[in-house]
Amino acid sequence: DVSGSITTPDVKLNLGGEFIKESTATTFLRQRGYGWLLEVEDDDPEDNKPLLEELDIDLKDIYYKIRCVLMPMPSLGFNRQVVRDNPDFWGPLAVVLFFSMISLYGQFKVVSWIITIWIFGSLTIFLLARVLGGEVAYGQVLGVIGYSLLPLIVIAPVLLVVGSFEVVSTLIKLFGVFWAAYSAASLLVGEEFKTKKPLLIYPIFLLYIYFLSLYTGV
């Protein structure tokens, strides 16, 4: 006649100076070699980044580039080359989408047209620049063309006010197109083009005329 009882072994873990008693199930898993199932990974500090940092969005950098485009005069002291040399995607995309929104006039298809012209128009300028011997990346062209839509956004509310005055409206449109084209061309057309500058400036000018035609309802 054998009788008795089996008691659970009293196993304790030392975690940071404090002893924690393990449950029977935990002890069983550890004895069978399945203790790895109970391990908890420490939180990775990189997983707790703010959303803007996770998406690589720098609002200060975008704001600085906006000022560089809207005020292209060298005398103002802005380092305008940062728009070309440090391209980003979210800033130009926001500008293009905002321009699309103010160009709707009840026609949602205008948005897709403007985004398409931005992407493929920038691709055309990029290919032409490379053919002419320029050292520029497609991302740089995409960013510069996108940011340089800002002058057209600035003149948009003015056109709503003076729309009934055809001569004044035409002058403002020309001013906006020249402003946008100058901002883009001064960043993309460098000294390496020498006598070939007009071959690149002209299509940039035509591109912004087309952007403006989409805004005015064509």
User: Domain limits of the chain?
Assistant: 53-216
Question: Is 160 or 55 the better-scoring residue by pLDDT?
Answer: 160
CA-CA distance, 14 to 198, in Å (whole number)?
A: 76
What are the C-alpha distances in Å from 168 to residues 138, 156, 171?
Answer: 36, 13, 5
pLDDT at residue 136 tops 60: yes
**pLDDT tier, 92 (very low <50, low <70, confident <90, very high otherwise):** confident
Question: Is 10 or 128 the better-scoring residue by pLDDT?
Answer: 128
CA-CA distance, 33 to 123, in Å (whole number)?
A: 59
What are the C-alpha distances in Å from 89 to residues 76, 118, 136, 186?
Answer: 25, 12, 16, 20
**pLDDT digit string, tens, across residues 13-44:** 454 444 445 567 667 666 766 565 556 555 55
pLDDT at residue 1 tops 70: no
Residue 91: name the closest of 66, 125, 120 by CA. 66
**pLDDT digit string, tens, across residues 64-80:** 888 888 888 777 777 77
Question: Is 122 or 28 the better-scoring residue by pLDDT?
Answer: 122
**pLDDT tier, 217 (very low <50, low <70, confident <90, very high otherwise):** low
CA-CA distance, 91 to 68, in Å (whole number)?
A: 13
CB 141 within 8 A of CB 190: no
Task: Calculate Rg over the CA atoms of the chain.
Answer: 30
DSSP code, position 13: E
Return phi, psi of residue 38, to 5°: -95, -5
pLDDT at 19: 45
CA-CA distance, 31 to 62, in Å (whole number)?
A: 58
CA-CA distance, 159 to 63, in Å (whole number)?
A: 25
